Chains A and B, each alone.
Chain A
Amino acid sequence: MIQRLYAHNYRCFENFELNLKDISSCLLIGKNGSGKSTVRDVLEIFQKIGRGTNRIRELLTPNDFAWGKRNSPIRFELEAAVEQQIFKYEIAFELPDGFHELRVFEEKLSVRDTVVYSRKVAQVTLSRTHANSEANFLVDWHLVALPIISASSEKDPVQVFKTWLSSLTILSPIPHLTHGHSSGETLYLAKDGSNFAEWLEGLLGTYPAAYTRLDKTLKQVLPDFVDFQGVPSGGNSRKLVVQFARDKQSFRVDFEHLSSGEKCFFIWSAILAANAHIGGLFCFWDEVDNHLSLSEIGHFTIALRQSYQQQGQIILTTHSEGILRRFSHENIFYLSRKSHLEPTIVRPLSEVYKGRNIVQDLILDDIEL
């Protein structure tokens, strides 16, 4: 679970700190432009690093400096509890005069306050090796070190942390891009959900028991749902076909022809199944209310929160009253900024709001930070 997320001098974030210790599910709310999706983008940088992206220009550009403040580093910090250990990963980027691409200024991974490796610009110091001695080596300063530091075993802290970072699920589904075709399988779901079919194949191929949970959830939201299949569609490709039935009549439809909301039901059901079977997953779902009917929003939210109450961690963002009402003030973070020239402020809603009708007061814009 993420315990703390910090970002400085990145877009609208200046000393931005989100404390999530012991929070299994929470909601980020705030006006348009307040920075909710920027939290997603910061997490995506960590996810990409975990999945092996180490070239800085694939993570950040000079335009990401807050208000063009290029004389101060962009800094990110992530503290997380993973396999009962507390990891802290810090990385800072700078753009010296004459450079066109950012370079790493500092980088450090610690576990239980013991430094695993640290880095200043190109010089990396690995604190522990097979011989239990320190190792020093150089890394191109345009590359992040974490993806290229090799681990001695699956239990090596570097490997444990990289594996966890790579498993971060960040979602902002665009249903019309979720076509249901696959030509392989993956355990990484794309942010826009476009590779849902491949991800589903990967999930069920690795964790076949997840189908039972997936089936049960889908039948709750789609009572006439029977099953789905991957049907060959030429070459190595397959397409997802869904079967519905009622009163002894059945109907098969290509997944790509389901409605946007129905596709989101599939993604949601699969996320629940993945969390139940893979265990301890982190998910950030941006504007989760998109495409969901009013009668389903509350159940959808409670089901997600119930699942992540057992294990894992989920952060949602929303503008929907229906989602908002399924979180208590204690589990809501309010983001705000006074103008585009000022940084985002984030506070737990319970600290800044003592009223009794948050929806009404949000409509009236009566929340003050």
Chain B
Amino acid sequence: MSANKYEPHLVVLPEDDANAALINGFLLFAGLNSRQIQVLPVAGGWQNALRVFLDEHIPKLRQYNQRRFVLVIDFDNDSNRRDIVLKQIPDEVRDRAFVLGVFSEPEQLRSALNRRFEDIGRTLSQECFENHHKLWAHQLLMHNQTELTRLNQSVRDFLFP
């Protein structure tokens, strides 16, 4: 069976195909327990992603206390984007909700690195496993550092056993 909702698991909501491609790469890292992750269909924009999360998934976070939820969205060069999202999440589930993304958009990251989305995602996953954040320190990703630490504490035990 796929991720048992009564065991620790992670649900990921990507804003669009480009973010989904990064996530695919993340899932392809062999050291990841990908069966504990379920990726939802793309939301079609960060505001849609937020709306879907608030309307449909907050109640489920309350219901399933082993669920963690990550929104993967473009920051469109807005350093306040994560705070805008997190402020709308109720207190009782906020410790299990996370927001990550490229500071501008994934296409810029791909161009900057001259690598495919999936290669980038796989490296990011490997760095999480190895606790060695070199690509995560890229100028388009470094704004995720605090959130990544918070997420790592919540999911590391079951995603990288």
Contact = CB atoms under 8 A, between A and B. Distances in A.
A309 B118 CA distance: 12
Given A221-B1, A302-B34, A306-B34, A328 B118 contact: yes
A305 B26 CA distance: 12
A310 interface: yes
B53 interface: no
Interface string B1-24: 110000000000000111011001
A158 interface: no
B28 A306 contact: yes
Interface in B28-60: 28, 30, 34-35, 38-39, 41-42, 44
A326 interface: yes
Nearest to A326: B24
Given A221-B1, A302-B28, A358 B17 contact: yes
A302 B26 CA distance: 10
A51 B123 CA distance: 40
A251 to B, nearest CB: 17
Given A298-B38, A356-B18, A328 B25 contact: yes
B116 interface: yes
A353 B18 CA distance: 12
A321 B117 contact: no
Interface size class of B (residues with CB under 8 A): 20 to 34
Contacts of A330: 21, 116-118
A312 to B, nearest CB: 14
Q: Identify the interface centre among A222, A302, A356: most chain B CB within 10 Å of its CB.
A: A356
A329 interface: yes
A296 B17 contact: no
B117 A355 contact: no
Main SS at interface, chain A = helix
B17 A356 contact: yes
B41 A328 contact: no
A359 B42 contact: yes
Given A295-B2, A357-B17, A325 B118 contact: no
Contacts of A309: 28, 30
B38 A356 contact: no
A324 to B, nearest CB: 10
A327 interface: yes
A328 B116 contact: yes
Interface in A313-369: 321, 325-331, 355-360
A221 B24 CA distance: 20
A135 interface: no
B1 A223 contact: yes
Contacts of B25: 328
B17 A329 contact: yes
Nearest to A310: B30
Given A327-B24, A328-B116, A359-B42, A295 B1 contact: yes
B159 interface: no
Given A330-B21, A331-B118, A305 B30 contact: no
B27 interface: yes
Given A298-B39, A359-B41, A328 B117 contact: yes
Contacts of B27: 302, 326
24 contacts: A221-B1, A222-B1, A295-B2, A295-B38, A298-B38, A299-B35, A302-B27, A306-B28, A306-B30, A325-B39, A325-B41, A326-B27, A326-B39, A327-B24, A328-B20, A328-B25, A329-B17, A329-B21, A330-B21, A330-B117, A356-B16, A356-B17, A357-B44, A359-B41
Interface of A: 220-223, 295-296, 298-299, 302-303, 305-306, 309-310, 321, 325-331, 355-360
The 7 closest A-B pairs by CB, nearest first: A328-B21, A356-B16, A295-B2, A302-B27, A302-B34, A330-B116, A328-B118
Given A302-B34, A306-B34, 6 more contacts: A298-B2, A298-B38, A309-B28, A326-B24, A326-B27, A330-B117
